[in-house]
Amino acid sequence: MTLIKSISGIRGTIGGTVGENLTPIDAVKFASAYGVWLKQQRNKDKHKVVVGRDARISGEMIQNLVMNTLVGLGIDVVDVGLSTTPTVEIAVPLEHADGGIILTASHNPKQWNALKLLNAKGEFLDAAEGAKILEIAESDQMEFADVDSLGKITINDAYIDLHIDHVLDLKLVNAKAIKKAGFTVVVDGVNSTGGIAIPLLLERLGVDVIKLYCEPNGHFPHNPEPLKEHLGDLSNEVKKHGADFGIVVDPDVDRLAFMDENGDMFGEEYTLVACADYVLSRTPGNTVSNMSSTRALRDITEKHGGTYEASAVGEVNVVALMKKNQVVIGGEGNGGIIYPESHYGRDALVGVALFLSLLADKKMSVSALRKTYPDYFMSKKKIELTPGLDVDGILKTIENRYQEEQLTTIDGVKIDFPESWAHLRKSNTEPIIRIYTEAKSQTEADGLADKFIAEIGAIAKG
């Protein structure tokens, strides 16, 4: 069992030993540290935090612990209940709150949960802020409110609907054209809150929705990471119903992937490429994605006359570079769309609406649309960490071996070859080393990843 404390928040498996897993005591400890930090940041008489969760089995328990810990600190709580990460991000500024917490472990299996922490803008905390919260959690700086100063909990279950209203109000979302196109779409909600939000959005857009695993009970019917090998049922349903395409999201609805009318993956890397193509065609500008994302975004951006730049992995890093470069759209190759016209957070609802607008405009099938983009193939593999493994030392050895190539070391080691690239880094959310590669064919991409896995194994053995 595992507990990961990082600047991204606290993430772990439910049950087990305190300090080694996400137990109730650990949840209270880190919710307390966040609340104390929040009060230090904003010197005022009363503070407010928005709290929501995905549909994980442990979600209600963890949410009650977190909310009542904040109440004990004298902080008022807006309970948005079953929600999505982008919905909570939008709710924070609408509530004029001081911060937000989403209880979700994103794409991790059901035994995991996590506290994702937001600032007053509804954006993820940066490295310095996250480090300060970890410092507070390990100290005795926490002071709770007296009985007359306890916070209060207010329930507001309207935010998914408000989020959908917000998406439909975006200038580039062409609801009229989408309704006219008469799409039929299969939605795999992985039995989490995407099964609530995505069908509601589609129905508002006049799309005929076929639901698959849209019961928000937290019993994930397959590995919740939206990858091809996990989506056989979605493929079958798309073909069975003759649907125009399929949609799958992760449990907290910040990652988005599409499946074409033949039941084949559009490619999660190409979610951002397609949405960027649409946005750039109407609002020319620059783009940003992280270092582990496809080169196709660079190609599409340059086709539209813009400039592309890559950030370190992590949403907060992508957002920081997006703001610096004043980009019109950005995100992550894992299917995360960040559209500043909406807000600075990955948002599958925004991605769905932009993608549908693109399809309605192009008047072509999803498979035909995919053929209009540059062909790159990616391999995403990982190595489980073992105790005592010197990850930093291994990556330094790799860096030294490939110093004649184009190297980027702001986040692990990325090696750019003329026709391919490899990115090796330690995950912030799981006890693994990620090995991402991209090449002109799947065979080449897989072969490059396997080469580096073997090389890391050899270095580890000495």
Residues with catalytic function: 106
Q: Residue 302's CB: how many other CB atoms inside 10 A?
A: 12
Q: Is 375 helix (H, G, I), strand (E, B) or coil?
A: coil
Instruction: Let me know: does 448 contact 420? Beta carbons within 8 Å.
Output: yes
What does R_g of the chain's alpha carbons equal in angstroms? Answer: 22
Closest CA to 374 of 445, 444, 299, 276: 299
What is the token pair recorded at 332?
């992550």
* DSSP letter assigned to residue 18: B
Alpha helices in 174-331 (DSSP H): 175-181, 194-204, 232-241, 269-282, 296-303, 315-325
Q: Residue 211's CB: how many other CB atoms inside 10 A?
A: 15
Please provide residue 312's backbone torsions phi and psi, each rounded to the nearest 5 degrees: -65, 155
What is the token pair recorded at 106?
């994103």
Q: Which residue has the tokens 């928005």?
A: 50
How far is it, in rounded angstroms, from Cα 339 to Cα 428? 24
How far is it, in rounded angstroms, from Cα 122 to Cα 344? 8
Q: How distant, in Å, are the alpha carbons of 26, 256, 268, 299, 338 from that of 296?
A: 42, 17, 12, 5, 17
Describe the strand order of the beta sheet including 184-188 as a list of residue ranges: 208-212, 184-188, 245-249, 256-259
How far is it, in rounded angstroms, from Cα 457 to Cα 421? 20
The beta strands (E) that lie in 326-365 are given as: 329-332, 336-338
Sign, CA dihedral 381-336-162-259, equals negative
**Cα 192 off chain centre by:** 15
The b/e string for 429-451 (b: 16+ C-beta within 10 A; e otherwise) is bbeebbbbbbbeeeebbbebbee
Contacts of 407 (CB under 8 A, 6+ apart): 399, 413, 414, 415, 416
Amino acid symbol at 67: M
Strand partners, 288: 309, 330
